[in-house]
Structure 1
Amino acid sequence: MAEKEGKKRKRQSNGVDVSSKKVALGADKGSNIKVTFSDNRQNGADPVFVSAPGLTAPPIAFKPYAKSTSGKHTNALPKPTTHDLLLQSSQHPQLDYTATSSSIDQHQSHYLAVYDPASKELQITSAHHLSLRSIPRKISEESKEAKARSFAQQREQLGREFGTKKAKKAIASKTENAIVKGGKNGVQSGAQNAVLESVADSAAAAPNQEQVEQDLLASKPIPKPNLAAESAEQVYAFNTLIPQAEARLVPVKDWQEKARAKEEIMFSHRYPAHRVAAVGCTDNILKLKALSYLNLLMDFHDALQNAGRGGKKVPKKEVLSKKLAAWPGTLVDLVRRRFSNPQNELPKWHQDNLYTHMAALTLYVDDWSTNTTDLKDDLKMENRQIVQFFNELGCKVGGMTEKDRERLGVGKAVAGTMRMAKLKLPLEFPKPRAGRKR
């Protein structure tokens, strides 16, 4: 089709092509990573992942054996998609080790990724996955142990081979009861010693109670605490509560100018309204950013919609942008991705994660001792609910003392209904509840 007459064309550039794409905020120039996938290896076979459940394998060499799954791949290099791989070693004095592919991996693929920070290249290649097992080595008749057997043991061997059913049963019962090492008549073989030593090594490598508690704490929906902190201020650092990419976008200049000029600032929530005047007049920008970020989380919480079964969901983009029009769009999007799942929903774990971050921010603003009443009223919760979130952070929650009441200027009648959450060392996290006994 011919072009319409009079249609304007774009002016030729001066030799410089300018991209029409917007630059992502927070991204450094040259931060792109080159990803390559290597499927046809020319220098050797693919790498191998070996899992050893219940075993601690010694540092020994393995011999590889490969078998093609079809005749057309017989002379080709072994690949996870075309060959079955087996690793075998007999270098251990008493045990034979064999690594074979598991039946669970028939419909799974495994890959190895190696990242080079100098060239910013990520190379991905396919890999085999094998499961390691050990079996006691059979002792030959010519071995030293066979030559050193006593006359009674030789009679037992003859009884196993040529004895009556009653005799065989008696010998088998005696053998089962003679496993105890150092018994009067029981002699433990080297293979049994090796198996028991392997079990002992695995038990020694198992995580201790402290490691189990740390792993359990890491899976909770709370900000990651610094368990090695020497003071309450080091437990939840500012960068832990607000990532650096989000902290740069949090607006505070307008609040600071109005607070110093003693101008009125309108809020929808009680907590920031009661503290912006005192925090804004100081030079503590981090504390002011924490208060502003907390106000954003409260607005984000108010914009959520019910999703059934106690869950929440993020409204559509245009609806969310309208409700949070006072905040930078990029910052709102970062908050949405941080506290919701990929389906833009907030199940119970994600909601608890949002609430505990709010609670931790109030501790940061109030110097690690905060009155929970304002946050409770802003989130429309009961005392037991808000107390639980502060307990999850390791706080001690109790009634308001006389010193707290005088410092906050609260009357005696009102102070009896309020709770104070204080973060002190050593931290005390709630113990996991045990299941009900049947």
Structure 2
Amino acid sequence: MPSDKSEKKRKRASDRHERPSKKAAMELQALPPLAASVVEDQSELAPVIATTPGVLNSKSLRFNPYLKSRDGKHSTLARNPGIVSSEMLLQSSEHEKMDFVGREGAGDDADSQLKHYVAVVDSERKTWQIVEARRVTLRGSVRTGHRDGDDSEEEMNTMRAQRTALTNTFGTKQSRKAVQSLAENAQLSNAPAGSVTEAGAALISSLPEGVASGLDKATNVQAEVQAAKPLPPADLSAEHPSDVYPLETLVPGGSSTLRQLTGIEEWKQQVEGGAGVTTGSRYVANRVEAVVLSGNDEKLQILRFIHLLLEFARSLKGMGRSGGAGPGSKKLPPRDELRRTLSSTSGVAAKADEESEDSTQLLPDGVIDSLRRRFAPSGGFVTKHNLTLLHTTICALSLHIPPQPAKDGGNSSLGGNAPNELATDPSDLRDDLRLDAPTVLQYFRELGCRVDKPRESEFSKWNIKGGRAEANARRIARLRIPVEFPRVSRGGKK
């Protein structure tokens, strides 16, 4: 049973010596009587009391003094006029790795309001002279400048270079391949596909033969992959974005095909008469009136050809498993049906009676044949590869239609775009082609476009009325010089 008596805990006996509660009194040193005097010195070159907080100062360093006059400071009777009217700075670069700079306290510093003195004791004369001194605080900093030829050392001090060195030393095989790929992309990122920059050429020439041939092979692979993609050919030597995908390569037959297109005069009459243009394409319906009012016949021909390609894509039908043309292939309608469908400006196939044939001007056989040779070279079907080529050709043609052609006039070569770019809103093409947004945006990226949000200064150009909230949900494709295509992924082995 526990005891009812309260027991007090005893302190454990300490093995250490007890610390005295009071400090031992220091014995006073016997000093000889000294005669004290204050030296009235008015020189600027007063003694300096230097403190080095946080830095161990070497006594062997020599400091260079610099003086400048203080602004708005007047001498007083109680202060040395030389110290009050001037400010001293000490500097030394003799240390091999650090620079030292000493400054006097500023006027806002509480310590700068105090007067500091230095006492000089003469034991022979038994005198004690006191003179006013300056107080300087020394700060040290690691020297950041490099001598000529130390560029490699400066580069290694960057965070990216340090991470790269760690990855090459301790990383896995896949991570080292990723670092190597980043280095190659950095050399080739500012050059178009298939070309090498001057810096890259100099680097390749300095490498061993086996390594240089490997980089050449990677560049050739990038160019071959880009050429094999279902994209219209790009002119990488173009000086303006409008020449990267010229009409002669986008339109089979070039300008002669555009001049043979029918339905253009019908659109002009409908717009001039105040009647709305009815089409099966949202992209065309939202732009045909502005293009007609601009008076630019070439832009109107391009818009008509885009409408023709959209109707061509819409007329394709699935082949099923028994088609034998490969997965994703589409079947062409009969020739006469395709001709009537493409000839209709409203997007509705005309009836096969004499009355409709008289009211609708049919397209020439040369236009139909040029489309079939370009997008259906195999015969009565369009393969998945050629279908993607059809979609990317429509996207490239849309870059030639300005955002607001009516405000630019008929003879504008830029067409509502900035002087250094061609831009378009892919949302209407997304709906016309019945694709999702990532697929359409990827088409434009493969064409070398940069996809980003519309800028605030472009809200009126793109008819954005909901402010930043609407702009954050929109994407604009921009084609600029130099053209940058997506790089080829070089995935590591698993």
Return the TM-score normalized by structure 1.
Answer: 0.50
